[in-house]
Amino acid sequence: MKNKIALVTGGSRGLGKDMALSLADENIDVILTYNNSKVEAEEVVAEIKSKNQKAVAIQFDISQMKSIDPFLNNVREE
């Protein structure tokens, strides 16, 4: 069976963080994005990994259209 993977934007805090952690509780691996809060994002990744799920945080500013292609390349690599 294939693993499920979720992409959560704004996953370093607030509702995005809550969603990322809830998905991990459901045995879903998580790719989360953050804009400026790298430390908070890494803390969420560590918490997800402590639940034995895969997780990665990728910096992404959705307001900058030029950042979309590099972001998608990062997702493909992960």
Three-state DSSP at 76 gives: helix
Report the predicted TM-score, pTM, of the whole model to 2 decimal places: 0.83
DSSP state of 20: H
Q: How far is CA 63 from the centre of its chain?
A: 18
**Fold classified for 5-77:** Rossmann fold (3.40.50)
What is the DSSP annotation of 48-70? HHTTT--EEEEE--TT-GGGHHH
Rg (CA), the chain: 12
The answer to whether residue 1 scores a pLDDT higher than 60 is no
Reported as a single tens digit per residue, the pLDDT across 8-67 is 999 999 999 999 999 999 999 999 999 999 999 999 999 999 999 999 999 887 777 777
